[in-house]
Amino acid sequence: MEATHPKAGADYPGTWPAFESWFPDNDACIEFLAQVRWPDGFKCPCCSSRDAWLTGRGLWLCRSCRRQTSVTAGTIFHRSRYPLRTWFEVMWFMCSQKHGISALGLQREFGFGSYETAWAWMHKLRRAMVRPDRDLLGGEGASVEIDQTFIGGRTQARSGPRYVNKAEIAIAVERQHPKGLGRVRLAHIDSEYRKAGLLEFVQHSIADGTIVYTDGEVSFHDITSKLRLTHHPIAMVHATDPAHELLPAVHRVAALLKRWLAGTLHDGISDQHLGYYLDEFTFRFNRRTSRSRGLLWYRLVQQAAHTDPHPLAVLQHKI
């Protein structure tokens, strides 16, 4: 998306005092969003013409098709009753908190009139945290671990699966040599279509030519045999070393995920929205070494400017 690496002080504010200086009012926020959304100048979403002018109401009027477009139209900020500066502040706050914040915490911090408003904002922003065109993990000769973990309650089943109300999470983590973890991918797997879900996860997460390490589960052999991957299964049953030493990357990420869900969100998540919580964890984990909170905020603004609005009814799966 970006040709050059953005720099603090030139492309975005690097600190909170700089943020306040950059955005003294809402007009400054609107101008900044326009530059982020249209770095090469305004482009009409209807006819793609660049011949337009800014009206007194702050709308871009296309000379070709006469369509009027606001800078927030088609973004997560579309038709919001709150000023854009409040959105920018919330986004900065979310990025500056190392482990994130719950909707209740956001409501208290910003004085929203209802929990529902804070919840909706959090979910709109989570949908902007993952780019659909992001790079795949691994690559030719690179190593990736894949495994699953389970989160949720512990209601004992009378028959069938041991725990009936747990959600299965697929995890893929890059191995870095000689040690360390790279990027991560997570996905909620539907238990009714488990094998198809795992196949789709691997296809959309792992690049061709990657060396894949898994446990000895047969499903992984069947999946990797259909793809251009080199599979190294590890038989846990006959191994003398514990699982967390044989597949250290996925076990480390699974532990961090569960700790984050319990500590930040207090395990207050539902299966229908679980994927978006996983997106937030992925966003934070993959940028854990960043020293600039301002850069994280800038990336989130970029992605928010190219993410659909998602009205509350859509977020709540009512339509």
pLDDT tens figures, 85-140 = 999 999 999 998 888 888 999 999 999 999 999 999 999 999 999 887 889 999 99
Give the CA distances from residue 242 to residues 147, 176, 215, 236, 238, in Å, rounded to whole numbers and listed in that order.
15, 20, 12, 8, 10
Q: In whole angstroms, what is the distance from residue 179 CA to residue 160 CA?
A: 39
pLDDT surpassing 60 at residue 157: no
CATH of domain 143-272: 3.30.420.10
pLDDT surpassing 90 at residue 177: no
**Helix axes 248-263 and 274-286, enclosed angle (nearest 10):** 120
pLDDT higher for 261 or 146? 146
Q: In whole angstroms, what is the distance from residue 113 CA to residue 184 CA?
A: 36
pLDDT surpassing 80 at residue 158: no
Q: In whole angstroms, what is the distance from residue 18 CA to residue 32 CA?
A: 14
Query: Average model confidence (pLDDT) for the chain?
Result: 88
Q: How confident is the model at residue 216 (pLDDT cuts 50, 70, 90)?
A: confident
**185-197: average pLDDT:** 91
Q: How confident is the model at residue 20 (pLDDT cuts 50, 70, 90)?
A: very high
Domain boundaries for CATH 3.30.420.10 within the chain: 143-272
Neighbour-count burial for 24-49, b at 16+ CB within 10 Å, e otherwise: eebeebbebbbebbeeeebbbeeeee
Terminal-residue alpha carbon distance, the chain: 32
